[in-house]
Amino acid sequence: MDTTSASDEGEPANNNHSYFRILVFCTCIAFLFSCKQPKKELPPAPPPGPDTLVIEKKPAATTDTIAKKPMGKKKIYLTFDDGPNKGTRNVLQVSKEENVPISFFIVGKHVFDSPEQKATWELLKADTSIVMCNHSYTHAGGQYTRFYSNPAGVVADIRSCQEKLAFPNYVVRMPGRNAWRIADIRVTDIKESRAAIDSVYQAGFDVMGWDIEWSFDHKTLSPDTATGILLRRIRNMLDAGTTKTPGHLVLLAHDQAFQKTNDISMLVSFLRELKSNEDYEFILAGKYPRLRRVPE
């Protein structure tokens, strides 16, 4: 009996203990679960507004940023070839009226071809705002292949022009060739001329070609490129740094293309457009960088 009663009494006692343990276990689980609940999320960030855009604004100019800007104005060398001829006085007059310095590359023989051409040469010499440079004495007589096949003859022709006209610099433009020999700028457009042009450089002259040409129609003698196109090419070359010396652009034009009123007007408007660009300044050929013999 005792065993039975013990057994009867013992059963309810065991059940109560189990319920208590389950209750504690569940309470603990519930407590732990509540602790691991993620915190309530913050509302999402507002879309970018004026405040966030402020961060992207360029910083105000400082001494550093100013120092990294390109230095100085872009230099343009306006060079006109083959005078004195019928267009030379017009180009000279426009140069004076527009107050734009121009470099005239002179063919020695043309100075002595007629009294009028000699008088034009004297007019050029009297103007201190321009400069004259050597473009050979004979201009190869138009026979370029034969001329350049004789380097000694080419040097003699250039020296003859230099002695007769006493240019204030030693800058030469080769007739019929876009060739350069200035410091490490070594360009020869037609390879057969290389030895002759090297000889001119060895004789003490710096050889200047051009970066861009304002060409003309050889029948009508009028410029054959619209000024808008020319101005755009000039800007593109200077911006891209593709001139022989970055930041310095040599333009070739020809005196004889400016004989007619309309063509002279085109030259005037071209120069006014260039002048209106504050990034440009005009420089004479004798001041091109790295010449060996700088004018006094």
Q: Which residues bind Zn ion (CB under 5 A)?
A: 81-82
Smaller CB separation from Zn ion, 137 or 280 = 137
Choose between 85 and 90: whose C-beta lies nearer to Zn ion. 85
Could you tell me how many residues make up the chain? Answer: 296
Instruction: Name the nearest CA neighbour of 100 among 220, 254, 246, 274.
Output: 274
- How far apart, in Å, are the Cα atoms of 17 and each of 9, 25, 30, 101? 13, 12, 20, 113
Residue 147 C-beta: closest distance to Zn ion, Å: 12
Shortest Cβ 209–Zn ion spacing (Å): 11
CA separation for the pair 235, 238 (Å, rounded): 5
Q: Which is nearer to Zn ion, 172 or 234 (CB)?
A: 172
Nearer to Zn ion, 82 or 213 (CB): 82
Residue type, 30: A
DSSP classification of residue 223: B
Pick the closer one to Zn ion by CB: 76 or 252. 252
* Contact call for residues 120 and 91 (beta carbons, < 8 A): no
* Closest CB 81 distance from Zn ion, rounded Å: 4
Residue closest to Zn ion (Cβ):
81
CB of 176 to Zn ion, least distance (A): 7
Least distance from Zn ion to the Cβ atom of residue 110, Å: 10
Q: For residues 266 and 161, what is the distance between their CA atoms, to the nearest angstrom? A: 31
* Phi-psi category of residue 82: left, alpha or beta, with phi > 0 → left and psi -120 to 50 → alpha: left
Nearest alpha carbon to residue 95 among 80, 117, 74: 80
C-beta of 113: minimal distance to Zn ion in Å?
A: 15
Which residues fall within 8 angstroms of residue 180, CB to CB, at 6 or more apart?
Answer: 186, 187, 207, 208, 209, 244
Of residues 81 and 211, the one with the C-beta less far from Zn ion: 81
